[in-house]
Structure 1
Amino acid sequence: MKDREFLLLVCLVSLTLIFSNFSLFIKSIASSSFLQPPLKQAAQQLKLDEFRQSEQAFWNQIKEINLDQSSPPTEVATVNPVTIPPQQKTIASPNPQPSKTPVSSPQKPITSPHTQLSKIPVSTPAQKPVSLPPKPKPTVEKPYTRFLFVGDSIMFDLGVKLQSNLRKTHQINHTKLDYKVSSGLNRIDYYNWYNRTTTLIKSYKPDVVVILFGGNDGQDIIDQNGRYQRLLSKGWEQAYQDRVERYAKLLSASPVRKVYWVGQPMSRKPRYNQIFTVLNKIYQNVSQAHPKIKYISTWDTFTSGGKYLAVVADKSGKRRSVKINDGVHFTSHGANIISEVVLDQMKKDKIIALKSQPSKTSPESPSKTPPATAK
């Protein structure tokens, strides 16, 4: 009696386990080598039906995904769709007998899940246009309109002609001539050109300054240490160069845009030529150290073959004397020739226009400015 109850209990437990996981039981039977072929084929058929049901549930879930409500797509690499032929999808039965249940429809090929995912639109982030820096506008140089002429009495002769030629030929009317007789950079105890030039630049605000010194500087000098230096000695040359350097620094540090330092032309007196040779060398050397200052040599203007000429032709071909009897000061004709040399340099530097129409004046109304006389 007890054996029957035990056997009954075992059967009940076995049936309970079988029905709780029937699919696992069928799979185990199908893989058993002791099962008869009909039962084994039935187990394989149940296994295939279960696979179809799980596959159909997967595709139903894919179809239910709402892509419009999904989060914004990110950049992903898409996979080319691979179509799996129906023959590869069919699971062959171990029994050679044909199955009555169709495995797949040949009219609608089954595609891999990667095929559906590759159809999801992928958007790349919008590239911002590269903003190039604005092209710098070409700087238009302000014209040179205000001219200042400073120096001794020789500058007076030259300055008058420069003013006249700038007004008539280049229509430049803002000019100022400031000179002092018997002055220079030697005797600053007599006339201080450092202070005077600073005052002129602040008050007149010139664009261009033209300088001419040297006619009165051929004398002994007191250097910056208060020591007496004889004319044309090494100590004298150094002391005078210090004066010129100080004046050049003053001009370079000022708002003046361009400075022309005019050298002395050859004289008919050997004494002046000996002094002017040393002075011109100092003017040239100092000017080269200051980019704002241009040295203009006039040494050969009144020469021919290295010899002084008392009569020289201007650009129009008119021949007249160029200096008065002292051999230093210009005549009106000589001052006009030196002014042409200065203006030609200004044209090369584009300070004034290369070509300008002369101002129109009627014969009945001559110019109010009288011609300058030699001093």
Structure 2
Amino acid sequence: MAARTHPRTQTPPRARRGEDGRLLSSAGRGIAVAVLALAAGALLTAPGMHKSAFNQQPGLRRDVALAITGPLARVSHALLLDRPRQLVRDAIGRGDGDRIDTEIALPPAAPATSGPAPAPPALPVFTPKRKLRLWVAGDSLVITPGYSLVRAAGASPVIRSLGVDGRVGTGLERPDVFNWFTEIRAQVKRLRADVVVLGFGGNDDHGYMTGLPDGVSVDGFGTPSWRREYARRVGGLFDTIARAGAVAVWIGLPITRSRKQTQRFDVINSVVAREARKRRGRAIYVDTYAMFAGADGGYAEYLQGANGTSIKVRAGDGVHLDSAGGDMVAREVLKRLNETFDLTSWRRKR
């Protein structure tokens, strides 16, 4: 008996078009939902993206990023879509995380005085019961000598270390990246420091500054306008520290393997040294250039020790210091502190 066959059901063309249309419609809705989700996510996180763009190095990439994230951040704020993110950040104690802080809080410059300089005051006295409180702050170049100072303080009966705050990639040109002006003013008061050891400039040779006063513009690195503004910032830090009752010690930038970078560091060192000279007794500049120059006056990774042995004093990058180099700087800082303060008379009174 022949098998019965069932005729194939044919879908009418109109029905097929309807199914295809529904598929296309579903796909379109999916794409639309995805686009809306991406847009909502971008608006919710726009403040953070805008700050990340702002913190990039100057150039086309930064310009494009700011052009995109700036309008997003403004729309996000207008629609209050930045509020959930802000509430979360407030709850975890990071409420200011998205704020681009470029305010440079510096005291007004002291008026120039004429006439003979006043007699130097008696050296402040520190003892094991009244220890000198020392804090170290700056960019990555201050970290190694900073910890050398911490070790030296541990061996001294009259110096108390308050720690080392060294932050990679920071400086005085870009308070939007990290605002050292606000940080130092707050920490010197909180810590009640007697001495603040500073080390800046390793990231300040780019010629791009944020936080400029209204009506002030800065040309390229090392120009007169750049020197004036950098001097204002350095001098302002010195004055901030002095008004808190502390003495500032600035560790100068060392010679580097790159001749071009060394020349740029020389510009920064000259500005800082001049500001320190204006504030004798309140600011000390420690010159490290000659300290780390080789026998020929150029860069040297190794220096000859007192016993004639070769000592590695520089890190492999040709910029930073090795631990032995940090110890050399620490010894010079301690020498200058002994010239500025009375750290030994307590021994004679025992």
Q: Offset at 1:183?
A: 0.8
C-alpha distance in 2, partners of 1:301/1:294?
16
Name the residue aligned to 1:262.
Answer: 251
- Aligned pair in 2 of structure 1 residues 272, 202: CA closer, same or farther (>3 Å)? same
- Aligned pair in 2 of structure 1 residues 203, 319: CA closer, same or farther (>3 Å)? same
- Aligned pair in 2 of structure 1 residues 293, 219: CA closer, same or farther (>3 Å)? same
Alignment match of 2:269 (pick from 270, 280, 284): 280
The answer to whether the aligner puts 1:320 opposite 2:311 as a matched pair is: yes
Which structure 2 residue ranges, 5 or more long, are not aligned?
Answer: 1-121
- Aligned pair in 2 of structure 1 residues 323, 194: CA closer, same or farther (>3 Å)? same
Whether the aligned pair in 1 keeps the contact of 2:145 and 2:326 (CA below 8 Å) is yes
Q: Offset at 1:174?
A: 3.7
Q: Offset at 1:267?
A: 1.2
- Aligned pair in 2 of structure 1 residues 163, 354: CA closer, same or farther (>3 Å)? farther
C-alpha distance in 2, partners of 1:140/1:199?
26
Q: Offset at 1:171?
A: 5.7
Q: Offset at 1:284?
A: 0.9
The answer to whether the aligner puts 1:153 opposite 2:144 as a matched pair is: no
C-alpha distance in 2, partners of 1:310/1:214?
21
Alignment match of 2:196 (pick from 209, 223, 246): 209
- Aligned pair in 2 of structure 1 residues 230, 315: CA closer, same or farther (>3 Å)? same
Q: Offset at 1:196?
A: 0.2
Alignment match of 2:340 (pick from 338, 349, 353): 349
- Aligned pair in 2 of structure 1 residues 234, 334: CA closer, same or farther (>3 Å)? same
Name the residue aligned to 2:62.
Answer: none
Q: Offset at 1:228?
A: 4.5
Code of the residue aligned with 1:162 in structure 2: it is L
- Aligned pair in 2 of structure 1 residues 315, 166: CA closer, same or farther (>3 Å)? farther
- RMSD over equivalenced CA pairs, Å: 2.6
Q: Offset at 1:355?
A: 11
C-alpha distance in 2, partners of 1:284/1:307?
21
Which structure 1 residue ranges, 5 or more long, are not aligned?
Answer: 1-138, 357-375
Q: Offset at 1:335?
A: 0.9
C-alpha distance in 2, partners of 1:321/1:270?
20
The answer to whether the aligner puts 1:243 opposite 2:233 as a matched pair is: yes
- Aligned pair in 2 of structure 1 residues 352, 328: CA closer, same or farther (>3 Å)? farther
Q: Offset at 1:151?
A: 0.5
Q: Offset at 1:306?
A: 2.1
Whether the aligned pair in 2 keeps the contact of 1:166 and 1:172 (CA below 8 Å) is yes
C-alpha distance in 1, partners of 2:308/2:244?
40
Which is bigger in relative contact order (C-alpha 8 A, separation at least 6)? 2
C-alpha distance in 2, partners of 1:305/1:347?
31
Q: Secondary structure at the match of 2:290?
A: coil
C-alpha distance in 2, partners of 1:255/1:169?
22
Q: Offset at 1:320?
A: 2.1
Code of the residue aligned with 2:192 in structure 1: it is K
Residue-by-residue CA offset, 1:10-59 (whole Å, 9 max, x unaligned): xxxxxxxxxxxxxxxxxxxxxxxxxxxxxxxxxxxxxxxxxxxxxxxxxx
C-alpha distance in 2, partners of 1:210/1:280?
15
Q: Secondary structure at the match of 1:347?
A: helix
Q: Offset at 1:314?
A: 4.7
Code of the residue aligned with 1:277 in structure 2: it is D
Q: Secondary structure at the match of 1:229?
A: coil
Q: Offset at 1:325?
A: 2.3
Query: % of aligned pairs identical?
Result: 24
- Aligned pair in 2 of structure 1 residues 140, 183: CA closer, same or farther (>3 Å)? closer
- Aligned pair in 2 of structure 1 residues 173, 251: CA closer, same or farther (>3 Å)? closer
Code of the residue aligned with 2:339 in structure 1: it is K
Q: Offset at 1:207?
A: 0.9
The answer to whether the aligner puts 1:294 opposite 2:284 as a matched pair is: yes
Q: Secondary structure at the match of 1:244?
A: helix
Whether the aligned pair in 2 keeps the contact of 1:149 and 1:177 (CA below 8 Å) is yes
Q: Offset at 1:230?
A: 1.4
Whether the aligned pair in 1 keeps the contact of 2:188 and 2:241 (CA below 8 Å) is no
- Aligned pair in 2 of structure 1 residues 244, 141: CA closer, same or farther (>3 Å)? closer
Whether the aligned pair in 2 keeps the contact of 1:185 and 1:193 (CA below 8 Å) is yes
Name the residue aligned to 2:187.
Answer: 200
Alignment match of 1:184 (pick from 171, 184, 201): 171
TM-score (normalizing by structure 2): 0.57
Q: Offset at 1:161?
A: 0.5
Q: Secondary structure at the match of 2:198?
A: strand
What does 1:67-82 correspond to in 2, within 5 Å? none
Q: Offset at 1:266?
A: 1.2
- Aligned pair in 2 of structure 1 residues 355, 332: CA closer, same or farther (>3 Å)? farther
Code of the residue aligned with 1:262 in structure 2: it is I
Q: Secondary structure at the match of 2:319?
A: coil
Alignment match of 1:168 (pick from 131, 138, 155): 155
TM-score (normalizing by structure 1): 0.53
The answer to whether the aligner puts 1:253 opposite 2:243 as a matched pair is: yes
C-alpha distance in 2, partners of 1:169/1:316?
25
Code of the residue aligned with 1:310 in structure 2: it is E
Q: Secondary structure at the match of 2:284?
A: strand
C-alpha distance in 2, partners of 1:354/1:314?
31
Q: Secondary structure at the match of 2:159?
A: coil
Q: Offset at 1:351?
A: 4.9
